[in-house]
Amino acid sequence: MSLTAEQILALAPDAASAKAGTGQASLSKWSGLGGHAQALWGLCQGSGKEPYRAQIDLAGPAFKCNCPSRKFPCKHGIGLYLLYARDSAAFKESEAPQWVSDWLQSREERSEKKAAKEAEAATPEALAAREASQQKRQEKRQGNVEAGLAVLDAWLEDLGREGLATLRSKPSKDWEAMASRLVDTQASGLASRVRRLGLSIYGGGSEGWELAAARELAQLALLRQAYARLPSLPDGLQHEVRSAIGWATSQEDVLAQPGVHDRWLVMGARTLEDGRVGSCATFLHGENSGRWAMLLQFSAGSMALPPAPPTGAIYQGSVHYYPAAVPMRVVFAGDVKLLDAAPGVQQVVAPTELAAEFERYAQALAANPFLETWPMALEQVTPVHDASKAMPWSLRAANGEALAVDAAFRQGWQLHALAGGHPLRVFGLWQGYSFLPLAAHVGGRTFNLDGGNG
């Protein structure tokens, strides 16, 4: 299994690493190149006396290098993979050296230990003990969340009594204090909404912030009311509300549900920062099922986000959906494999009219009124710029209908240049009032447009 150069560069943790990795993809920098069906390896001469040992487990792909870089993968791993993509003949097929074999063996042993631990945890005794312990934790957390929601109720009542016009006169620390209180009471989902709302109020002077604030405050109040009568809601909506409050479903429970087997095209990804927590949502589309799927990855503190599946890549295997009124988030099953994808094979999503897309969105919103975004693959749309509008960019369909592009999108002119005045395919997220482009497909190539838009 091998990736294209674009897919390899998409694995880089940031643009600087991708650029540095490109600079390492030269035969003059490497010696001892080799590989077989499972791995690649090579020695890259750096500034020290001894060359760095770089190796790649192709099944992941997973990278290892003994250089001091804290980035993952480092520039040597990226350079080694790029070199293989450009000149595979330079890699002699042979037995792996001991340092590569030891690494591969350690990875296999960890995988076996994990499987054994999972089997041990599945015994009746272990299940019963875990269920009792979980019940006690759930009851304690329920009390914490209720305490936090009582504070939120009083806070929302004060805001409603004082009115929207007074929001900017309040100290910004009030919003962070409310968010921190919700985190302390284990309502992290609501805390993120409060923090985001505060940033939108104080973060800029754009017109219309009052309307956006009113919408978010209404969502907070609606979530609070929905949680108060949770048992009366449909099962799927109960999961949506609990998730929005901050309750999490374990991956083990998700993997216990039936999977959906398909070929999954990576349509695009969106990265976000919320305080010290980063997230990356990668959106996939099933070739046969026609279903959307979202793979969500997190980082905390100084940790870097794990490499997201490269945009334009194709995976084959089963995914398991988290329970929801509108299932979207998934976990990859163990059989998921990245397929070799030649340019031009990404013709998976059929052309759609804007009216059909909005009908799907309306159905999803009816099932889940707390839906924040909805993935859309727009065929044959043209970027249009109008400086007189608050959101100057839009995407115009062949029939003249247009979608306003979100003001947070910063790659408008890049998208315009890619289109060259012609229609193109754009993937992104409809956010209820505007569209956020995440990727564009032009001439058999897929371009990532995610700039960490908030």
The pair of structure tokens assigned to 290 is 């026609």
Phi then psi dihedrals of residue 294, to 5 deg? -130, 120
User: Is residue 384 in a domain?
Assistant: yes
DSSP 345-374: --TTSPP--HHHHHHHHHHHHHH-TT---E
Q: Of 216, 245, 274, which residue sits at a domain end? A: 245
User: Is residue 453 in a domain?
Assistant: no
State the Cα angle at 434 between 433 and 437, rounded to 5°.
Answer: 155
> Do 402 and 363 share a domain, yes or no?
yes
> Do 234 and 263 share a domain, yes or no?
no
> Do 381 and 414 share a domain, yes or no?
yes
Q: Of 119, 148, 171, which residue sits at a domain end? A: 119
> Do 157 and 227 share a domain, yes or no?
yes
User: Is residue 347 in a domain?
Assistant: no
User: Is residue 125 in a domain?
Assistant: no
For every one of its 454 residues, what pLDDT tens digit does the chain have, with 9 covering 90 and above? 567 888 888 888 888 888 999 999 999 999 999 999 889 999 998 877 889 999 999 887 899 999 988 888 999 999 999 999 988 889 988 889 999 999 999 988 888 888 888 777 777 776 777 777 777 777 788 888 889 889 998 988 888 888 888 888 888 888 889 999 999 998 888 998 888 888 778 765 556 678 888 888 899 999 989 998 999 999 999 999 999 998 888 888 899 989 999 999 999 999 887 666 778 999 999 999 999 999 998 877 667 777 778 888 899 999 999 999 999 999 999 899 988 654 444 444 444 578 888 999 999 999 999 999 999 999 989 999 998 888 899 999 888 888 999 988 989 999 999 999 899 999 999 999 899 999 998 888 888 898 654 4
Does residue 79 contact residue 73 with C-beta atoms inside 8 Å? Answer: no
> Do 361 and 331 share a domain, yes or no?
no
Domain tally, the chain: 4
Radius of gyration of the chain (CA): 24
User: Is residue 349 in a domain?
Assistant: no
> Do 58 and 73 share a domain, yes or no?
yes
> Do 317 and 364 share a domain, yes or no?
no
Phi then psi dihedrals of residue 411, to 5 deg? -110, 30
> Do 202 and 260 share a domain, yes or no?
no
Q: What is the distance between the alpha carbons of residues 433 and 406, in angstroms, rounded to a whole number?
A: 8
Does residue 206 contact residue 161 with C-beta atoms inside 8 Å? Answer: no
The pair of structure tokens assigned to 172 is 């910004």
User: Is residue 346 in a domain?
Assistant: no
Beta bridge partners of 284: 266, 293
User: Is residue 92 in a domain?
Assistant: yes
Does residue 83 contact residue 26 with C-beta atoms inside 8 Å? Answer: yes
CB crowding 119-129: b at 16 or more within 10 Å, else e:
eeeeeeeeeee
Q: What CATH number does the domain containing 383 carry?
A: 2.40.50
User: Is residue 280 in a domain?
Assistant: yes
> Do 218 and 281 share a domain, yes or no?
no
Q: Of 210, 245, 280, which residue sits at a domain end? A: 245
> Do 82 and 150 share a domain, yes or no?
no
* pTM for the model: 0.69
State the CB neighbour count (10 A cutoff) for residue 242. Answer: 19
Does residue 7 contact residue 310 with C-beta atoms inside 8 Å? Answer: yes
> Do 438 and 370 share a domain, yes or no?
yes
Q: How many CA atoms lie within 13 A of 170 on its CB side?
A: 19
Domain that holds residue 102: 5-119
> Do 104 and 74 share a domain, yes or no?
yes
